[in-house]
């Protein structure tokens, strides 16, 4: 199996079988239990990890970061929640990671983070943890190893990538019926 592409050719080369990296978590979920055990994630704990991206933490005081909106595409209304609902779930003493609005939350420094993922990553590494809907925020936080809670939409709209596999050991996914677990998970961050 090949996990890399020949950039000059623009396609996978010298492989018996090729899958896109975005599909890998799904295929891992179908693997033998020994392979699955290499990715232990439960809702009983939320752990940080080294992640596979590196960022130096900014100097913001540690708080929870929140993002309640997905990008304004087709699934915006399915994945997003109202900022007031987010405040009910986590309280208002949190940073807004929403590039469009701060809602009821503390703004991050105006240092270009809204258009610069490197700066966003730096702020995330300084946070106690992140609570977000299914969006790029969840993937960046997970890749950094930041403790993260992903608020999934109703079961029929959960992306198969979150439904069938765990992407990152620092991320816990919650269905709407499980949102009551958020205060306890935040306390343990």
Confidence of residue 154 (pLDDT cuts 50, 70, 90): confident
- Helix 136-144, helix 117-126: angle, nearest 10: 60
Q: Tokens 């239990």 sit at which residue?
A: 33
Residue 10 structure tokens: 């623009």
| Domains of the chain, start order | 1-39 (no CATH), 43-187 (3.40.50.2000)
Instruction: Please give the pLDDT value at position 38.
Output: 55
Residue 158 structure tokens: 């959960």
CB of 107 closer than 8 Å to CB of 96: yes
Q: In percent, how much of the chain has pLDDT > 70?
A: 68
What region, left, alpha or beta, does residue 9 occupy, with left being phi > 0 and alpha being psi -120 to 50 degrees? alpha
3-state DSSP assignment of residue 72: coil
Confidence of residue 29 (pLDDT cuts 50, 70, 90): low
Instruction: Please give the pLDDT value at position 5.
Output: 45
Model confidence over 48-73: pLDDT tens digits?
A: 666 777 889 999 999 999 999 998 88
Instruction: Please give the pLDDT value at position 71.
Output: 85
Confidence of residue 32 (pLDDT cuts 50, 70, 90): low
On average, the pLDDT of the chain sits at 80
Alpha-carbon span 148 to 168, nearest angstrom: 9
Query: For residue 2, is pLDDT > 90?
Result: no
CB atoms near residue 156 (< 10 Å) = 6
3-state DSSP assignment of residue 174: strand
């Amino acid at each position: 199996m090949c996990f890399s592409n020949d950039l000059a050719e623009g396609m996978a080369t010298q492989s018996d079988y090729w899958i896109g990296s975005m599909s890998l978590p799904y295929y891992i979920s179908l693997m033998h239990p020994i392979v699955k055990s290499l990715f232990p994630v439960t809702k009983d704990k939320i752990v940080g990890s080294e992640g596979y991206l590196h960022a130096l933490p900014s100097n913001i005081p540690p708080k929870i970061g929140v993002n309640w909106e997905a990008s304004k595409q087709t699934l915006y209304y399915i994945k997003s929640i109202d900022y007031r609902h987010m405040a009910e779930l986590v309280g208002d003493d949190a940073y807004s990671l929403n590039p469009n609005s701060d809602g009821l939350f503390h703004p991050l420094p105006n240092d270009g983070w809204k258009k610069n993922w490197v700066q966003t990553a730096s702020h995330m590494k300084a946070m106690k943890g992140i609570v977000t809907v299914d969006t790029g925020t969840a993937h960046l936080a997970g890749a950094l190893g930041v403790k993260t809670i992903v608020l999934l939409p109703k079961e029929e709209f959960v992306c198969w990538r979150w439904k069938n596999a765990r992407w990152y050991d620092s991320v816990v996914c919650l269905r709407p019926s499980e949102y009551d677990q958020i205060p306890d998970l935040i306390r343990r961050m």
